[in-house]
A and B are shown apart, each in its own frame.
Chain A
Amino acid sequence: MSATHHHHEEQDFLFKYIFSQDHKMISKQFLITGFLMGFIGMVMSTLFRLQLGFPGESFWAIDFFLGSWAENGVMAPDKYLALVTMHGTIMVFFLLTAGLSGTFSNLLIPLQIGARDMASGFLNMLSYWFFFVSTIIMLISLGVEGGAASAGWTIYPPLSALPQAIPGSGLGMTLWLISMAIFIASSLLGSLNYIVTILNLRTKGMTMTRLPLTIWAFLVTAILGVLSFPVLLSAALLLIFDRSFGTSFYLSDIYIGGQVLEHSGGSPILFEHLFWFLGHPEVYIVLLPALGITSEIVSTMSRKPIFGYRAMVTSILAIAFLSVIVWGHHMFVTGMNPFLGAVFTFTTLLIAIPSAVKVFNYITTLWKGNIIFSPAMLFSIGLVSTFISGGVTGLILGDSALDINIHDTYFVVGHFHIVMGLSAIFGMFAGVYHWFPKMFGRMMNNTIGFFHFWITIVCAYGVFFPMHFLGLAGVPRRYYTNSEFPLFDNMLDINELITWFAIVAAFAQLLFVFNFFYSALRGPRASQNPWRANSLEWTAPVEHIHGNWPGEIPEVHRWAYDYSKVDENGDYVNGEDFISQVVPLGPNEKDGGH
């Protein structure tokens, strides 16, 4: 990095706000785009919850949002599936992958490792614009003839391959595949950049064992992405070939619409293997950044070092390693070799060990802390709760013998929404509340944040906890209505209750939207280090400058978790309950958790 880097001439609007190569601006672009998509995904879920809670009833809201997809305010069965599919796709990829990693990896990597910017600002900009294009294509697919993709977010062929099977598998599916291919390109550009930046651009003194846990999480997430997203790309390409060029990678022995198809010799199971080779690591691509963010916040707001730094890093690595050898647990009942099922059960249940270590370490960090309940801290504690509540049921689903009977039921829906959906979105909210001053130079309103958190967590559990009971009663997921089965008649009350919680939760997010925009525009100005935290980003000035620090990049002398460190007399070292990473070690002081 040249020393002249921060002497930039005034950039015009176009290059400052639109085609920016500055990581801080790109991070905001990811955040806003991701949240917009998340909002759309949330509205979709509220609409199909209306159908599930009050099947067949006409609603003004359904009519307003869905138009021709819903005659007289009642959505069509295949459009219900389109909504479910798009909700899943948007939430998993656009909000919780690009929105979460894109925002916080971009914002925090250069600032926390002490770099002027990403290794390649240009690739970083491309990463956002590929993401933007894929977003637009995905949104366009909502409006095409036949409707959006409707085969579930897992798009298993042959359903996703044959327009005869469901209308959404026509143009809607083609656009879905194109959009995802571009999305994957975006993700790879971003991930490679993150890895290179973390490995090469750390400032003097910033050894790997002094990295904040956020950076460890982003690093491992990026590596997982680079390993697994290309496999999804190849799966998607083969599907495009099957759909458009007459190949038979996934198709064989099919009789549909009164005729036998030419395809022969392929297997849909191959697609499932390829899909889940990404699909499972994807769960951790979504989750690890959230865990990294909360590690940082829990420590800062407890005014205590994170407990077991090395164990935390080790468990991130262990979770990541295991996550690439467990994909088969999504396929226990596909008819794959039972021996394989046994292997996948074994590897899957092992993940509980590093996960448990993380939970215990979070809880021990709170123990004898001095906790300040900022909204970010509330969401972090909420994450630990959802990580436990959703995690324990993983022991049931990961056990092949038990999975047989609850596979693809609402038990699964409840499980993954809590452990991955809620945990990741709580981590994302926590991150926004915590680093808002770093992004916008202003503070968010605490009181609104408190209301936002409590309403959200109560409603979120109100939505997803009862789903376990539905699943244990044998109710399958992705049913337009349960009214065709007398067996499920008694379940209507549960579904109604869930829908009410979902509606309140959706409206509660408006509190956040309001707080976000109000604070970004008119909120009180932030001081440089409002949370009195140790990591490097708080040594940078509030005003965004290209290159992050005026003058030299600060040198790092200690790890990021010296909170409430005392000397032999019991007084705070350095006089305060936090010591920035840039403060040199005292004569008798040891670094790290010693």
Chain B
Amino acid sequence: MSNGNLPEQIVFRIRRFSPGRDKEPVWKEYRVAYEAGMTVLDGLWRIKESIDPTLAWRASCRMGVCGSCGMLINGSAMLGCNTQISELASSVVSVAPLPNFPIVRDLVPDLQLLFDDHAALSPYIIRADSAEQENPTGEYYQTSKEMETYLQFTYCIKCACCMAACPTCATDALYSGPMALTQAHRYNTDTRDDGFEVRKQVLAGEAGPWRCHFAGECSRVCPKGVDPAKAIQFMKRQLVADALGLRKKRPLAPLLKKPEGIQRRPGIAEAPEPTVG
């Protein structure tokens, strides 16, 4: 036993479901020896390797970056790889798939709804100078202060924990949800972007932020500190100002051309060729 408060064994209660085989999900228990530093994802691997190879979940990076292993752990949406069992302060760990999504199998949710909502809000830079974007001749200039207005919202890893925790997503199929709305706000705030009117076609309707009750669960469960609830409130303010004709039109980030007539100092290597484009 490596932690005084934890027993040598952890009981994993896992909700299992296989469409076509099971009529409804069932809970199964597995006992796993606890080791210091063990995450919930480690425990699932231990079960798959030594107890039940049929257990299914989705995971990839094991370091809270890819957003694949979102699951409902002891009733709260979390990343399996990011959750130390010692943090749960319980010898029983219940694991279920993220709610508000159809289940593919066991702990694997079908995130198609999330990706559809995300794509519908054009989560990319939109500008009139599309030729410049296709074949860049320079860089768009943005101050660090301008970048800080949206930087927090760029940390989203699309793990769907916020969508699973959102009470509005649980009842309203038309609501875009905190992830997609946060990303829409992230681009609406970016000074390089001029796509507010394009996204407004979706945001001003029933898929917009209007159904958000500010329960704040999305921000509480977000493993990256993105704070979607804050983004949604900012978005509401921006859209209301727009409806009243009070939205401030900010200048677009200007294009900085590459410097000309500058000689490279001797001994400094050329920058590598762009890998994209």
| A complexed with B | no
Residues of A participating in the B interface, judged by any CB pair closer than 8 Å? none
